[in-house]
Amino acid sequence: MKILVCISHVPDTTSKINFAENDTKFDTTGVQFVINPNDEFGLTRAMWFKEKQGASVDVVTVGGKETEPTIRKALAIGADTAHRVDTEPLDGFQVAKELAKVAKDGEYDLIIAGRESIDYNGGMVPGMLAKLIGANFINTCVSLEVEGDTATAIREIDGGKETLKSSLPLVIGGQKGLVEESDLKIPNMRGIMMARKKPLNVVEPSSAETLTVSKSFRKPKPKGEITMVDADNLDRLIDLLHNEAKAI
């Protein structure tokens, strides 16, 4: 089984976010970038298929040379080969088109993507990728097993979970639950050294068009002052919730 894991290069959630050029561009100064958490769950599941079923695992990202430390981490975790589409990711459709080209060329059986990235939270790429390559698609996936050419997945739906079966090729949008957080792999020294020798292929972009443009950014309003209420003063708490917060 050939697996392709889509990796997004995103800011660490602990990073302090700022904008530049009159709030029209994200300021990367001093920002630490990591593998998108939803993608990391998917990568860890792919490693399970590699260890248990002998699958081959490739990773792919869309971005410039600055993304290579992130994709090298994926290689250090255990991926066999990395592909970097050498263009700036500007919107979901463009990214999906570039990923589709790599997916078609590699003839993968299973493509694992995160259901959304934590920077723009668009949640569009996995579904569009599946459509572009003519594969089945399961989103919000929290469990995945593959036997032969049939996959069994569990996905979250409103009010519960749904179990589905699908033939391969298949694209999934994975998330927390696909593996447990305790199963996430930290690259060891041997993995880091081996990653330096693994292939990282730079792919020329297909010049896919972008359908959206980010015009400006703004931070959420700062939180208001906190009013402390004594645990025994229930009347005061009810008064504040009713008359000030308008919550009840």
3-state secondary structure of 79: coil
Q: Which regions of 123-225 does DSSP assign to beta strands (E)?
A: 136-147, 150-157, 160-167, 170-174, 200-203
Tokens of 56: 């081959």
**How many other C-beta atoms are found inside a 10 Å radius of the C-beta of residue 8?**
27
Tokens of 228: 């402390």
Q: What local confidence, expressed as pLDDT, does residue 50 receive?
A: 96
Question: Quick one: how far is CA 7 from the chain centroid?
Answer: 6
Q: What local confidence, expressed as pLDDT, does residue 174 receive?
A: 96
Over its length of 248 residues, how does the chain's per-residue pLDDT go in tens digits?
A: 999 999 999 999 888 889 999 999 989 988 999 999 999 999 999 999 999 999 999 999 999 999 999 999 999 999 999 999 999 999 999 999 999 999 999 999 999 999 999 998 889 999 999 999 999 999 999 999 999 999 999 999 999 999 999 999 999 999 999 999 999 988 889 899 989 999 999 999 998 888 888 899 998 888 878 888 898 899 999 998 998 888 88
Q: Report yes or no: 112 and 5 within 8 Å, Cβ to Cβ.
A: yes
Q: How far apart are CA 48 and CA 215, in angstroms?
A: 41
Q: Which H/E stretch holds residue 5?
A: strand 2-6
Residue with tokens 């995945």: 144
Q: How much is the pTM?
A: 0.88
Tokens of 51: 């260890």
Ordered structural domains, the chain, with CATH: 2-218 (3.40.50.620)
Residue 70 is classified by DSSP as H
Q: Which of 158, 151, 160, 157 is nearest to 130 (CA)?
A: 151
Name, in order, each residue with C-beta under 8 angstroms of 230's C-beta and a sequence gap of 6 or more.
Answer: 236
Q: Report yes or no: 46 and 146 within 8 Å, Cβ to Cβ.
A: no
Alpha carbon separation from 43 to 3, 48, 81, 104, 244 (Å, rounded): 10, 9, 13, 20, 47
Tokens of 141: 């996936």
Residue with tokens 């080969």: 81
Name, in order, each residue with C-beta under 8 angstroms of 64's C-beta and a sequence gap of 6 or more.
Answer: 86, 87, 88
Q: Which of 219, 220, 217 is nearest to 25 (CA)?
A: 217
